[in-house]
Amino acid sequence: MPALAGSSPSTARDLEHLRHAIDLSGRAVARGDHPFGAVLAGPDGTLLLAAENTVVTDRDCTGHAETNLVRLACRAHTPEFLRGTTLYTSAEPCAMCAGAIYWSGIGRVVFGLPEADLLRLTGSHPDNPTMALPCREVFARGQRPVEVVGPLLAEEAAGPHAGFWTEQ
């Protein structure tokens, strides 16, 4: 399959970290939150941080997995270091999370489920009325590049969403 326009090649390590993020999205559901997870890997590919969605349990509408992860990352690392890191997320970052990633200095994003697929899954669900704004469009308006890889493993990433938005 040819690479998507604007998408860089992924590695076996990328898929490993992305599967970890997808696994966390399932764990978030088991805890009573929404099915989203994210992890951060260092320049050498080692796992640094992990986060899950906490919108329900924290009663925080900004508690998306990526935003939670960015908060942890900024407390632990400098923007200079974060430029060499990769954020893996089970679903494409929304506009808020893409903004948080931009402000953090994180240099690369790998995502599973594309936002358009998530929008089809959630519909207009009041708890998650998904936006229709690809993260590449958000990053394109910034003053520094953020490399984006995805969608990858979209079917696996959709797994924890099965029935979630229709049975609430």
**Residues of this chain that bind Zn ion (CB under 5 A):** 64, 94, 96-97
Q: Is 16 known to be catalytic?
A: no
Judged by CB, which is closer to Zn ion: 97, or 153? 97
Question: Whole-number minimum distance, CB 150 to Zn ion, in Å?
Answer: 14
Q: Which among 16, 52, 66, 156 is annotated as catalytic? A: 66
* Helical ranges in 65-141 per DSSP H: 65-76, 79-82, 95-104, 115-122, 135-140
CA distance 92 to 86: 14
Question: Whole-number minimum distance, CB 65 to Zn ion, in Å?
Answer: 8
Judged by CB, which is closer to Zn ion: 68, or 86? 68
Judged by CB, which is closer to Zn ion: 46, or 120? 120
Strand partners, 147: 108
Question: Whole-number minimum distance, CB 14 to Zn ion, in Å?
Answer: 20
Question: Whole-number minimum distance, CB 168 to Zn ion, in Å?
Answer: 18
Judged by CB, which is closer to Zn ion: 3, or 137? 137
Token readout for 89 is 């997320």
CA distance 143 to 89: 23
CA distance 123 to 128: 8
Q: CA end-to-end span of the chain, whole Å?
A: 37
Task: Give catalytic residue positions.
Answer: 66
